Structure 1
Amino acid sequence: MTTTVALFTGDLRLHDNPVLRSALNGADQVVPLFVLDSGVREAGFDAPNRLAFLADCLADLDASLCERGGRLVVRSGDVTEEVCRVAEESDAGSVHVAAGAGGYPRRREERLRRALEQDGLSLDVHETVVTAVEPGAVTPAGKDHFAVFTPYFRQWERVAQRDVLAAPRTVKVPRGIRSDALPSREAAGQVSPGLCRGGESEGRRLMRRWESSGMQDYAERHDDLPGDATSRLSPHLHFGCLSAVELVQRARKQGGEGADAFVRQLAWRDFHHQVLAARPHASQADYRTKGDRWRGDPDEIAAWREGRTGYPVIDAAMRQLSHEGWMHNRARLLAASFLTKTLYVDWRVGARHFLDLLVDGDVANNQLNWQWVAGTGTDTRPNRVLNPLAQAKRFDPQGDYVRRWVPELADVEGAAVHRPWRLPAEVRDRLDYPEPVVDLDDGLARFRAARGLDQ
C-alpha cells in the first residue's frame, strides 16, 4: 500500500486543491494532515478571531473528508516534527504542501524538506494553491518582482491558468493514525461578537450568492460604505476555503465590468504576495523608507484603536473592526491613512492592531497595504492623504455607515453626522462623543513638514 501525506496549510478545502489531488494521484492511501503550528503561536499570530474561524474550517474540512470515507488528522506542535512523525507512522513515501510566499512559510518548507530528505522522503511543493498566479511567475526585465501594480496586472492577465480541479469523490486514510481533537471555536478566547462563520461549505455558499447577486454591480459599488457591496470572501481566501484560481475563472466566465473589477482585486492580492516573496523583510521594515520619525502619542493611538477619534467615519470603521473582525476595504484605507498621515503614527502600530483582530489577517496583504497607505510601500504617490471628511461625503453621503456603527450619533440626521462639532450647542452637549483628536489642517501640516514637502 503506497501512502502519501497531504499537509494542509492555507488551503483548507477539497475543491480545486492541487495538494490533495496530487497526493491522491498514484497513492493507495493519503493522510490529510493539519498541524496547529506552535511557531505561529510563538510569533503572536494566533489571534482569537482567526483561531475561531480556523476551528470552523477544520470542522468543515473533517466533515467533508468523512463524507468521502476519510478524516482529518490534526496534530499540535512543531510542523517539521509532527509531519515527520506522521510520515513515519503511516509509512508514507512523500509529503505534499502548498507553496508559501512569505518568509515564515518558506523557512518552514526548507526545514521540512531537509528533515524529510534525511528520512529518505520527498517534499512536493505545489504552486497556484494560495494565489491565482504564483509569485515570480511574471517579472519585469532584469528585476525579481514588480513594484508597480499596473504593469504587473497587464502581465498577470496574460498568464495561462491551470484547470480547476474537482473535489475528490473518495479519500482513503490509513487506519491507526492518531489525531488530536479538533479545536473548538469556544476555546479560541474572546472573539468579535459579529465574527463570521468559516469553512469551505460556507465559503462556497457565499461565493454562489456573490456571483448571483453582487458581482455584477461591484465596479460601481465596491466603495459604497453603507451598501456593504463587497464580496466578503477575503476570510475564506485567507484560509484557503476558496481557491483564487477558481474565483478568477468563474468571474471571467460571468464577465462584465463588475467581474473585471473583482478580478482586478484578486490580482492586487497576488501582487502583494509577489512583493513579499521577493522582499520578505517588508513584513516589518519599510519597503521604501522615507526617513520618517513617527509620533507615538499614546492617547491618540488609544483613541484610534477604540474608535473615539472624533471623526465619525474613522470611528465607525474601527468599531466595525472590533465587532466583526472585518472591515470594509474603503474603511481600511481611511483608518490607515488617518493613523499614518493625519496622526503620523508608525504604520507597524496599525498593522499590528489589524492583525490582532482581522479574521482575514494576511501578512502579505495587511502589511503591504499598510505600507502602501503610509507611503513607505509601492504607492506611486507616497504622500497622498485621504481626507476623512471628503471621503465620508463621497462614500457615505447620508451618514448611514456612521450611524450603523457609532450609536452615539444615531439620532443625527443626514450628512451632518460627519461633522458633529458643527451641531447646535444644545444638540452637541447631549452627545457622548469626543471632540476631534487633531485638526485635519494641523495634521496635514505636521505630516508635510515631517516629509519635507514644504521646503
Structure 2
Amino acid sequence: MNVPWLFWHRRDLRLADNLGLAQLAERTTAVTGLVVLEPGVWEGPEAAPSRLWFLLTSVAELQQAWRHIGSQLLVLQGDPLQHVPRLVARLGVAGLAFNEDVEPGPRQRDDQLQRVLLRQGVAVQRSWDQLLVPPERVKAGSGEPYKVYGHYRRAWFNQAKARPVAAPRRLTGPDHVRLATAARTLPLLQRLPTPAELGCSWRGRSPCRPGEQAARQQLDAFVDGALSRYEPERNYPGRKGTSCLSAALRFGTVGPRTVWHASQEAMATRGQESVEAQQAITVWQQELAWREFYQQALFHFPALAEGAFRTRWRRFPWHNQPERFAAWCEARTGYPIVDAAMTQLLRTGWMHNRCRMIVASFLTKDLICDWRWGEAFFMQHLVDGDPAANNGGWQWSASSGMDPRPLRIFNPAAQAARFDEDGDYIRRWLPELASCETADLLSGRIAPLERRGYPERLVDHRQQQALFRQLYATHVRGEA
C-alpha cells in the first residue's frame, strides 16, 4: 500500500545520494519533503548570516527539485518538537523519516520527537547519511571509540563504504485538502524569507556555492583540476588548491558517498599518472577521514561541546583580555598573516584551513585567550560552521583535545614565510600593505611610514610564547 510519509531534511539538502530518502522511496512513493527553519538559525548566539544565506538559497533550489519529481517541499518555521507532531497529524501521514545527527542537542530532540510520534501511532525511520561510516561502526579492539586520529584513520580506511544512491525519479505530494487545513493552523511558509527579513543581512562573497547543482559542479571542477595537486597546494592560502566543499558537506548539498566515489574514480584514473597525483588524492581522502573523526568524537563524547577534552585544560588560567580579543576579531593584531585571514573570514564567511590553524594558535598561544571564545566567533561567521569540525579544530589548536602531541605553537611570521612566501595572500586581504617589501610583510616588522594606518603588533610573539609555556608547565604538563 502506497501510504503517505514525510521526509525531514536537516543536514541533507539534496535529493541525490540521500540514504534516508532513498530508503523511504523504496517503501512508498507518496512522500512529501519538509524543512524546519528553527529560530536559532538566525537568532541564536552562534547564528551566522553567511550560513543563513547558504541555507535559504539551498532550500529554494531544493523546493524546485521536489516539484520537478512531482511532490512538494514544505517549509515550517518554529520549534520542530512543537510543530512537527501537529503537522504529521494534520497531513495524516503514516510516518516521518529523517537522517541522524551527531550533535547532542539534535540527538536529544530527535529521541524526544520519536517518543511523541510513536505515542501518536506514527512510524519513525532514522538513517545514517552524513558520514561514510556510522560512528558506532569504527571502534578500537577494546570496544571504546577512538581518541587519536591516526588510529581512527587506519580503521576507517578499512571500512566498506557504500556507493552513492540515485535521487527518486517520481514521488507524489500531500493531500491538498489536508495541506490547506494544516496551513491555516501551522506556521507553514508560503514563500521563503530572505536573510534580511530575518534580520541577518549577508553581502559577502563566499567561495562556497549553495545548492545541490553548484556543489556537484564544484566537486567535478576540483576533481578534474586541483585534486591532483592537492598536496602540497592545500597548504598555500593564496592559491586555489582546495575544493571549497566544506559548506556543501556541512549542509549536505552533496553526499559524502558522492565525494568519496569521486576520489576513488580519480585514484583509478589520474592517480595512475604519477606518484604525486596519487599522494595528493590520498591526502584529500585523509581529510575526509578527519571530518568523520571529529563527527564521531562529538557523537561519542558530547561533553566536547561544553569544554576541553583534557581535564587539566579545564582549569587553565586564560588571560581573556577583551581588548585583545576584539583586536583579533577585527583584524587589528599587527600580524599581517593573522589579520589577512580574519579579514577573509569577515568578508567571505570562509577561511583557508591553514589560516584557521594560524589564527587559532595566535589567539590561544599568543593572546592567551580561551579557545572557546574563538570557537564561538568562528560559528558566528563561518558559512561552513559545523559544531563537530569547529570544536575539533579549535581543541587541536589549543592542545586541549584528542591529540597525542602535548603542545603546538605556530609562529605567525614563520607560517607566513613558508606558506605565503610572495605575500600574495596578505596583499589581497590587506591592500593597504601592498607596497611593503615582501620580507617586511611576512615578518610583520613594517616601518611606520609604510603602515598606512595598519596597527603595530599587539603583542610580542616570543615573549607571549615564553609566558604561555610557563603557564602550560604549571597547569597542564603531565596529563596523559
After TM superposition, the score normalised by the length of structure 2 is 0.90
- 1:293 offset after TM fit, Å? 0.6
The equivalent of 1:193 in structure 2 is 204
The equivalent of 2:332 in structure 1 is 308
- 1:141 offset after TM fit, Å? 2.4
Contact 1:12–1:240 (Cα < 8 Å) also in 2? yes
The equivalent of 2:370 in structure 1 is 346
The equivalent of 2:89 in structure 1 is 88
Alpha-carbon distance in 1 for matches of 2:91, 2:42: 27
**DSSP-derived class of the 1:34 partner:** strand
- Counterpart check, 1:358 vs 2:368: no
Contact 1:4–1:24 (Cα < 8 Å) also in 2? no
Distance 1:122 1:60, change over 3 A: same
Distance 1:358 1:213, change over 3 A: same
Contact 1:39–1:78 (Cα < 8 Å) also in 2? no
User: For each residue in 1:105-134, what CA deviation from the matched residue of structure 2 results, as whole angstroms up to 9, or x when unmatched?
Assistant: 11111011101111011211101x111111
Alpha-carbon distance in 2 for matches of 1:42, 1:410: 38
Letter in structure 2 aligned against 1:288? R
Alpha-carbon distance in 1 for matches of 2:432, 2:227: 33
The equivalent of 1:154 in structure 2 is 154
- Worse-superposed segment, 245-254 or 362-371: 245-254
Q: 2:464 aligns with which of 434, 443, 449?
A: 443
Alpha-carbon distance in 1 for matches of 2:252, 2:293: 17
Alpha-carbon distance in 2 for matches of 1:170, 1:186: 35
Alpha-carbon distance in 2 for matches of 1:40, 1:264: 31
**DSSP-derived class of the 1:69 partner:** coil
Distance 1:45 1:118, change over 3 A: farther
Alpha-carbon distance in 2 for matches of 1:192, 1:151: 42
- 1:87 offset after TM fit, Å? 1.6
Alpha-carbon distance in 1 for matches of 2:240, 2:337: 14
**DSSP-derived class of the 1:92 partner:** coil
Alpha-carbon distance in 2 for matches of 1:50, 1:214: 25
Letter in structure 2 aligned against 1:198? P
The equivalent of 1:299 in structure 2 is 323
Contact 1:144–1:278 (Cα < 8 Å) also in 2? no
Matching of residues 310-329 of structure 1 within 5 Å: 310-329=334-353
Alpha-carbon distance in 1 for matches of 2:202, 2:164: 34
Matching of residues 384-403 of structure 1 within 5 Å: 384-403=408-427
Q: 2:452 aligns with which of 431, 434, 450?
A: 431
The equivalent of 2:127 in structure 1 is 126
- 1:64 offset after TM fit, Å? 1.2
**DSSP-derived class of the 1:25 partner:** helix
Contact 1:34–1:73 (Cα < 8 Å) also in 2? yes
The equivalent of 1:249 in structure 2 is 261
Alpha-carbon distance in 1 for matches of 2:119, 2:14: 30
- 1:40 offset after TM fit, Å? 5.0
Specify every segment of 5 or more residues in structure 1 that has no aligned partner in the other structure, as ranges.
none
Instruction: Give every structure 1 segment of 4 or more consecutive aligned residues whose post-TM-superposition deviation is greater than 4 Å.
Output: 39-43
User: For each residue in 1:402-435, what CA deviation from the matched residue of structure 2 results, as whole angstroms up to 9, or x when unmatched?
Assistant: 0000121011142321234354x5x33x521111
Specify every segment of 5 or more residues in structure 2 that has no aligned partner in the other structure, as ranges.
268-277
Contact 1:35–1:74 (Cα < 8 Å) also in 2? yes
The equivalent of 1:269 in structure 2 is 291
What is the alpha-carbon root mean square deviation over aligned residues? 1.7
**DSSP-derived class of the 2:27 partner:** coil
**DSSP-derived class of the 1:302 partner:** helix
Letter in structure 1 aligned against 2:333? T
- Worse-superposed segment, 161-170 or 317-326: 161-170
Letter in structure 1 aligned against 2:145? H
Distance 1:93 1:411, change over 3 A: same
Contact 2:96–2:125 (Cα < 8 Å) also in 1? yes
- Worse-superposed segment, 317-326 or 85-94: 85-94
Matching of residues 209-288 of structure 1 within 5 Å: 209-255=221-267, 256-288=278-310
Contact 1:5–1:23 (Cα < 8 Å) also in 2? no
User: For each residue in 1:288-339, what CA deviation from the matched residue of structure 2 results, as whole angstroms up to 9, or x when unmatched?
Assistant: 1333110111111111001110000000000000000000000000000000
Alpha-carbon distance in 1 for matches of 2:368, 2:241: 30
Contact 1:53–1:185 (Cα < 8 Å) also in 2? no
The equivalent of 2:135 in structure 1 is 135
Alpha-carbon distance in 1 for matches of 2:366, 2:335: 12
Alpha-carbon distance in 1 for matches of 2:88, 2:437: 63
The equivalent of 2:164 in structure 1 is 164
- Counterpart check, 1:379 vs 2:403: yes
**DSSP-derived class of the 1:171 partner:** coil
Alpha-carbon distance in 1 for matches of 2:290, 2:209: 25
Contact 1:36–1:77 (Cα < 8 Å) also in 2? yes
- Counterpart check, 1:54 vs 2:55: yes
- 1:81 offset after TM fit, Å? 2.7
- 1:192 offset after TM fit, Å? 4.8
- 1:185 offset after TM fit, Å? 4.0
The equivalent of 2:274 in structure 1 is none
Alpha-carbon distance in 1 for matches of 2:351, 2:240: 10
User: For each residue in 1:269-289, what CA deviation from the matched residue of structure 2 results, as whole angstroms up to 9, or x when unmatched?
Assistant: 100011101111111211113
Letter in structure 2 aligned against 1:313? I
Contact 1:320–1:326 (Cα < 8 Å) also in 2? yes
Alpha-carbon distance in 1 for matches of 2:472, 2:453: 36
- Worse-superposed segment, 344-353 or 190-199: 190-199
Distance 1:132 1:415, change over 3 A: farther
After TM superposition, the score normalised by the length of structure 1 is 0.95
Matching of residues 94-133 of structure 1 within 5 Å: 94-127=95-128, 129-133=129-133
Contact 2:72–2:174 (Cα < 8 Å) also in 1? no
Contact 2:5–2:96 (Cα < 8 Å) also in 1? yes
- 1:202 offset after TM fit, Å? 1.1
Contact 2:47–2:379 (Cα < 8 Å) also in 1? no
Identical aligned residues as a percent: 34
Letter in structure 1 aligned against 2:457? P
Alpha-carbon distance in 2 for matches of 1:42, 1:366: 20
Distance 1:201 1:339, change over 3 A: same
Letter in structure 2 aligned against 1:117? L
Contact 1:52–1:186 (Cα < 8 Å) also in 2? no
Alpha-carbon distance in 1 for matches of 2:201, 2:76: 23
